[in-house]
Copies of this chain bind each other. A is one copy, B any other.
Amino acid sequence: MELVCLDLEGVLVPEIWIAVSEKTGIKELRLTTRDISDYDELMAHRLGLLDSQNIRLKDIQEVIGKLTPLEGALEFTRRLRSETQLVILSDTFEQFAAPLMRKLDFPTLFCNTLDVDKDDRIIGYTLRQPDGKRKAVEAFRSMGLRVFAAGDSYNDITMLQAADQGLLFRAPDSIKEEFPQFLAAEDHSALLEGIRDFLCARPMAAGKS
């Protein structure tokens, strides 16, 4: 049996922190691990910014609720889910993703979790596990699944390496040049074509009967 693992932001929905930055006008929320390489430090910075402006979880959820999936993403996932199995692997937080998952007909999502106090303040976060995308793909393969994985950036590379087949979706040329072993696609229809090729290449079963 086959499973497709997709990154969320950049593949199916916009980059969430960038959208939150634009809608709240807090430019510093645009900083990424390219600017502050330590993720804990980056998140502490982001949560400090939100807290200093008294922005609560529901404020951010309202902002995210106005976002829409990338053009064609809903039709793509509908088609995909009628042909094979899908689990989305993301570094975002379940509370951020929820309004967007609704607009994608609730595909299964494994991601991280914000810690929120009773006053709806975001006080921290809990990672599902370190290097969680790679480890999820490894665990899926240990379940006897053939895994196709697609993502758009450096934080997806270990997941792509762990999969039976990896694909870079709308990745910068520099990443595609560094990792020529992966397929590449610039739109959802090419991504779907890559997945269908993978499904057709199912190895002949041992065939008990």
A98 to chain B, nearest CB (A): 8
B139 touches A94 (CB 8 A): no
Complex Cα distance, B208 from A6, in Å, reads 27
Cβ of A115 to closest chain B Cβ, rounded Å: 4
Interface string of A43-73 (1 = CB under 8 A from B): 1100100000000000000000000000000
**Are B85 and A108 within 8 A (Cβ)?**
yes
**If A1-B110, A124-B207 touch, does A132 touch B144 (CB 8 Å cutoff)?**
yes
B81:A123 contact, CB within 8 angstroms: no
* Listed stretches A99-107, A168-176, A188-196; interface member: A99-107
A124-B209 contact given A87-B108, A108-B107, A136-B143, CB 8 Å threshold? yes
A150 at interface, CB cutoff 8 A: no
- Asked if A165 lies at the interface with its beta carbon under 8 angstroms from chain B, I say no
A-B contact pairs, 30 of them (CB 8 A): A1-B110, A1-B112, A1-B128, A3-B110, A40-B208, A44-B208, A47-B209, A86-B108, A87-B87, A87-B108, A107-B108, A110-B143, A115-B205, A115-B207, A115-B208, A115-B209, A122-B209, A124-B205, A124-B207, A125-B205, A125-B208, A126-B208, A127-B144, A128-B143, A128-B145, A129-B144, A135-B142, A135-B143, A139-B139, A139-B143
The DSSP consensus for interface residues of chain A is mixed
- Whether the Cβ atoms of B1 and A43 lie closer than 8 Å is no
Q: Are B108 and A108 in contact (CB under 8 A)?
A: yes
For this chain, the copies found in one complex come to 2
Tell yes or no: A140 within 8 A of B by CB. Answer: yes
Give Cα distance in the complex from A125 to B144, angstroms.
14
Q: Are A209 and B123 in contact (CB under 8 A)?
A: yes
User: Size band of the A side of the interface?
Assistant: 35 or more
From 144 to 201 in chain A, residues with beta carbon under 8 angstroms from any chain B beta carbon are: 144-145
Contact A143 B129 (CB under 8 A): yes
Nearest Cβ distance between residue A21 and chain B, in whole angstroms? Answer: 19
